[in-house]
Amino acid sequence: MKKIILFFVFLFTVSVISAQETPEPNYRQAAKYSPKNLAKMVHSTSVNPHWLKKGNRFWYAYKTSEGSNHYIVDIDKKSKKFLFDNTKMAKWLTEITKDPYDAKHLPRLDIKFNEAENAIRFRVTSTEEVEVEDEKEDEKEDKKEVEKDSISTKKAKKKKPKMEKKTYYLEYRLGGNVLTIINTKKEEKEPWKRWANVAPDSSIVLYSKNFNLYWMDKINFKKFIKDEKDSTVVENQWTKDGEENYGYGGNSRDDNEDKEKNKDKRSGIWGTWSHDSKKFVFQKSDSRHIKDLWVINSTGKKRPTLETYKYHMPGEKEFYKSELMIFDIPTKKHVLVPLDTMKQQSISVYRAPRKKSSYDDDFTPTLLLSKKGKVYFSTISRDRKKFDVHVADINTGEYKTIIEERFNTYIESRPLILFNNETEILHWAERDGWAHFYLYDADGNLKNQITEGDYHVNGFEGLDEKNRTLYFTANGVDKNQDPYYLHTYKINLNGSGMRSLDAGDFTATTNMSDSNQYFVSNYSRVNTVPKSEVRDVNGRKVMDLETADLSQLFASGYKFPETFKVKADDGITDLYGVMYKPFNMDSTKVYPLLEYVYPGPQTEAVNKSFSYRMDRLDRMAQVGFVVITLGNRGGHPDRSKWYHNYGYGNLRDYGLADKKYVAQQLANKHKFIDIEKVGIYGHSGGGFMSTAAMLVYPDFFKAAVSSAGNHDNNVYNSWWSETHHGVKEEIDEKGKISHKYKIDDNQSLAKNLKGHLMLIHGDMDNNVHPAGTIRMANELIKAHKRFKFMIMPGQRHGFGSMTEYSFWLRADHFSKYLLGKEATDVDFMYMNLDEPQN
């Protein structure tokens, strides 16, 4: 009898311990870190410099828990000053608008400097209502018409004027003691900006109408701006061969009703101007033969509306046919660059880089890379294995190929850099397995490789032509730190003298001045407070700018996540990740493990710098999970090309073994991880991967939430799928080229499902079409599987206003199946707490 009692005591004890092992879902803690609540705790985390044209100067706005301040920095003088005194500005705005302000609560100011750069201008909207200016003019016209007819005059009733809030356009001279009213006119919406492509010298305006190219001269365009109903405005039609899907602009993603309604309206034509405004380069694309795809808007209008658009899917015989046209403005003629339009290839025209000091300008025309009558452009084959750089004569269109790249996987590229009076070229390529810069002459002769080694050159930052020094960013130079950390470097164009300009155990973003003398660096890790500083191009720190104010975030109980380094499933490749834990973690409990995934190959879902956008990570952990993000072979391009292209030809399964093996390694190291309860979730490519993980390793992954997943890449866009998985180009005995595509899909493994899967998709997703998820659901039903399926009405790929709702769906799913507690209330209570209830 004693043994029996002891046995039952043992069973009771085990059951109590077991019940205590897994934490209770903590929705209150997760709600504390909603996007709305975070916006109250975390403000600015980086400096965005607005460079000025005169001197090495910039201004920026920075918000802390004490409000927003605006600064102007003169690097040459090593000075940082307030752009204006907040207390005085509040006083002036209150006096002018008659609305109350104080130093901590100024309106958001869209600041623009005047041409002399000694004053700032901005608009402020008051609460005072005034009669709309256009309405006054209309009333005058109506009165004139009424006076013509005495009978109508008797019957006429005074029309109630339309009102709007009064707007003040203001100017403040730096260092002054007054705020001046320029006018009280509301900023015009200027709808013409949506369609008018104005030449650099403003002599002509190009636009599209009924899929053809039209133009206005400067005089008529000014008349149009003054009064768009002016019947004397002269419009000129340039082309007559344009049609829908093979025209000169005019295509849109509107639903079919809006397309029909707007078909005769002006629309934009986008291309590239020569610097002298005499030529306009336009890429004309023929997509008439590309098949249509559709989504239905069931919630937007009285009747559901159809949205039809062209969408090319992988392996389809058809491909976009691209032409390159050069329009001559003075003669109104054009020439065609004699490309073989039967080749299935894509074209890209190289453009002149914009100066940083022009980013705030209202007028920034897109210019050709060359100022000397040349059009530099690239072509890449449909299979992305043949990439060529060409240069065409701007007058004749005749071209020659100057650089060729060939590879057995897909080729990636960066903008071409033309310098030294256009006699030399900087070209970025991965031809030795790592991304590097190469120096060419203008005829395409290789002079030398500039950067070299087992690191990844990320991009161009600046060039000192006089001293022949290149400034660039790169990953993986320092072998003692995370290879994803981005840093800035300088090197001589002959390949000598490479040195780091912002060394440290962090990742940094660089914003370099037009003078190439200084740069603003914003740097942090996921577990450090973000800081901002100015450095010179010798790597010396010139001045500190800001340290992010995280005081309120830490006061809430926030704790930094932890970084980790483990091995891939091959036992050799290093993988890097981040672990997010509940801030109130109980050492007596074990926690289910969640993996948030995005497989790449164009990026990985692993934060390297501090981010308060924690909806999918920190916040998910607060429900009661350990959440990890980690890289996988075949992921991020910021490592070797081998690492990046590992999944080529195996786009469904390439990252799954790494995800499983890393979870096992972490569970071996950390006793608080329950390896028997592993969940996985992701969006888009992560939705694809999370479902694949459930089906390829059904006994390991126990639950998944897959949103907007491209489960069947046969119905996803060809660019992503054919690039990263591969499409085979075949040539028959007659020389005819075809493209063969074959890829594994998720639905073919539907019978393998053992765990708990939730599928979510927006019904208006015109990126990853809902068909992929519907096909997945179809096969699960056929396989007699229980699963959850949620459609987000009216939502595109990102879920928009339903993003918060999708978070709580995910929390409910994992709470039920991994924490053992199901939320059954009809209302999402913690969503309601964030919103005032009417």
Q: Please give the full DSSP string across 224-239, using - where no structure is assigned.
A: HHH-TT-TT---EE--
Would residue 39 count as lying in a domain?
Answer: no
Rounded mean pLDDT, 258-282: 93
- Of 191, 181, 366, the residue nearest 282 (C-alpha): 366
Tell me the chain's radius of gyration from C-alpha atoms.
30
Please indicate, yes or no, whether residues 182 and 259 belong to a single structural domain of this protein. Answer: no
Domain total in the chain: 4
Please indicate, yes or no, whether residues 254 and 345 belong to a single structural domain of this protein. Answer: yes
Rounded mean pLDDT, 527-555: 97
**CA atoms within a 13 Å half-sphere pointing along the CA-CB vector of 326:** 24
Beta carbons of 710 and 687 less than 8 angstroms apart: yes
pLDDT class of 251 with cuts at 50, 70, 90: confident
Q: Tell how strand 67-74 and strand 486-492 pair up.
A: unpaired
Please indicate, yes or no, whether residues 717 and 611 belong to a single structural domain of this protein. Answer: yes
Any idea what the CATH number is for the domain that residue 591 is in? Answer: 3.40.50.1820
Rounded mean pLDDT, 676-696: 97
Q: Give me the phi and psi of 285, to 5 degrees please.
A: -120, 130
Would residue 306 count as lying in a domain?
Answer: no
Q: Which of 357, 372, 407 is the last residue of a domain?
A: 407
The confidence score (pLDDT) of residue 157 equals 57
The confidence score (pLDDT) of residue 151 equals 47
Could you tell me where the beta strands, DSSP code E, fall in 385-435? 386-393, 399-406, 417-419, 424-429
Beta carbons of 340 and 330 less than 8 angstroms apart: no
210-248 pLDDT tens trace: 999 999 999 999 999 888 889 999 999 999 999 999 999
Would residue 462 count as lying in a domain?
Answer: yes
The confidence score (pLDDT) of residue 787 equals 98
Percent above pLDDT 90 for the chain: 85
Q: Which residues pair with 223 in a beta bridge?
A: none
Is the torsion defined by CA of 25, 28, 31, 33 positive or negative? negative
Please indicate, yes or no, whether residues 611 and 700 belong to a single structural domain of this protein. Answer: yes
pLDDT class of 302 with cuts at 50, 70, 90: confident
Q: pTM for the complete prediction?
A: 0.92
d(CA 260, CA 255): 9
Please indicate, yes or no, whether residues 637 and 538 belong to a single structural domain of this protein. Answer: no
pLDDT at 58 > cutoff 80: yes
pLDDT at 143 > cutoff 80: no
626-679 pLDDT tens trace: 999 999 999 999 999 999 999 999 989 999 999 999 999 999 999 999 999 999
Please indicate, yes or no, whether residues 221 and 268 belong to a single structural domain of this protein. Answer: yes
CA angle (340 as vertex; 336, 346 as ends), nearest 5: 90
Residue 653, domain extent: 564-728+752-834
Q: Which of 511, 537, 560 is the last residue of a domain?
A: 560
d(CA 440, CA 433): 19
pLDDT at 185 > cutoff 50: yes
pLDDT at 17 > cutoff 80: no
Would residue 817 count as lying in a domain?
Answer: yes
pLDDT class of 450 with cuts at 50, 70, 90: very high
pLDDT class of 342 with cuts at 50, 70, 90: confident
d(CA 629, CA 621): 12
The confidence score (pLDDT) of residue 424 equals 98
The confidence score (pLDDT) of residue 4 equals 52
Any idea what the CATH number is for the domain that residue 423 is in? Answer: 2.130.10.120
Would residue 172 count as lying in a domain?
Answer: yes
What 3-state class would DSSP assign to 615? coil
Mean pLDDT (the chain, rounded):
93
The confidence score (pLDDT) of residue 795 equals 97
Please indicate, yes or no, whether residues 616 and 700 belong to a single structural domain of this protein. Answer: yes
The confidence score (pLDDT) of residue 8 equals 44
pLDDT at 121 > cutoff 80: yes
pLDDT at 720 > cutoff 70: yes
pLDDT at 6 > cutoff 50: no
The confidence score (pLDDT) of residue 148 equals 53
Rounded mean pLDDT, 293-315: 93
- Of 732, 731, 654, 728, the residue nearest 693 (C-alpha): 654
Please indicate, yes or no, whether residues 341 and 485 belong to a single structural domain of this protein. Answer: no
Please indicate, yes or no, whether residues 168 and 213 belong to a single structural domain of this protein. Answer: no
396-417 pLDDT tens trace: 999 999 999 999 999 999 999 9
Would residue 175 count as lying in a domain?
Answer: yes
Buried b (16+ CB within 10 A) or exposed e, 699-732: ebbbbbbbbbbbbbbbbbbbebbbbbbbbeeeee
Rounded mean pLDDT, 697-711: 98
Rounded mean pLDDT, 69-86: 98
Rounded mean pLDDT, 563-589: 96
The confidence score (pLDDT) of residue 15 equals 45
pLDDT class of 359 with cuts at 50, 70, 90: very high
Rounded (10°) CA dihedral 694, 698, 699, 700:
-30
Percent above pLDDT 70 for the chain: 95
pLDDT at 257 > cutoff 90: no
Please indicate, yes or no, whether residues 506 and 600 belong to a single structural domain of this protein. Answer: no
Any idea what the CATH number is for the domain that residue 380 is in? Answer: 2.140.10.30
pLDDT at 2 > cutoff 60: no
Would residue 492 count as lying in a domain?
Answer: yes
pLDDT class of 731 with cuts at 50, 70, 90: confident
The confidence score (pLDDT) of residue 559 equals 96
Please indicate, yes or no, whether residues 498 and 550 belong to a single structural domain of this protein. Answer: yes
Please indicate, yes or no, whether residues 545 and 578 belong to a single structural domain of this protein. Answer: no
Would residue 542 count as lying in a domain?
Answer: yes
pLDDT at 106 > cutoff 70: yes
Buried b (16+ CB within 10 A) or exposed e, 600-635: bbeebbbbbbbebebbbbbbbbbbbbbbbbbbbbbb
Lowest mean pLDDT among 184-198, 537-551, 626-640: 184-198
